[in-house]
Amino acid sequence: MNETDKNAHADDADGSSLAALKEELQDAGDTARRDFILLGAKQRAPSLASALYIVATPIGNLKDMTVRALETLAGCDIIACEDTRVSRKLLTHYGIHTRLITYHEHNADKQRPYLLNALEEGKAVALISDAGTPLLSDPGYKLVADMLDAGHNVVPIPGASAMLSALVASGLPTDQIHFAGFLPQKAGARSRKLADLKNIPGTLVFYESPRRLGAVLPVMAEHLGAGRQVVIARELTKKFEEFHRGTLGELAEHYATADAPRGEAVVLLGPAEEEAPDDGDIDAMIIKGLSEGHHIKALSGEIAQKVGAKKNDIYKRAQSLKDAMADKDKA
Which residues face 206 on adjacent strands? 181, 267
Q: How many CA atoms lie within 13 A of 317 on its CB side?
A: 21
Query: From edge to edge, which strands make up the β-sheet containing 229-234?
Result: 177-182, 203-208, 265-269, 229-234, 242-247
**Regions of the chain where pLDDT drops below 70:** 1-32, 274-277, 330-331
Q: DSSP state, 177?
A: E
Q: How far is Cα 225 from Cα 139, in angstroms, rounded to an integer?
A: 32
Which residues face 52 on adjacent strands? 125, 154
Q: Is the dihedral of CA 167, 90, 39, 73 positive or negative?
A: positive
Q: How far is Cα 196 from Cα 216, in angstroms, rounded to an integer?
A: 16
Q: List the one residue out of 264, 202, 259, 195 whose CA is nearest residue 232.
A: 264
pLDDT at residue 289, as a whole number: 85
Q: How far is Cα 81 from Cα 130, in angstroms, rounded to an integer?
A: 7
> What is this structure's pTM?
0.74
pLDDT at residue 276, as a whole number: 60
pLDDT at residue 30, as a whole number: 52
Q: Is the dihedral of CA 212, 213, 214, 215 positive or negative?
A: positive
**DSSP 3-state assignment of 168?**
helix
pLDDT at residue 331, as a whole number: 60
**DSSP 3-state assignment of 96?**
coil
Which residues face 55 on adjacent strands? 157
Burial 193-214 (b: 16+ CB within 10 A, else e): bbeebeeeebbbbbbbebebbb
Q: How far lies 319's CA from each of 42, 305, 315, 325, in Å?
A: 80, 17, 6, 10
pLDDT at residue 328, as a whole number: 73
Q: List the one residue out of 85, 269, 74, 263 whose CA is nearest residue 183.
A: 269
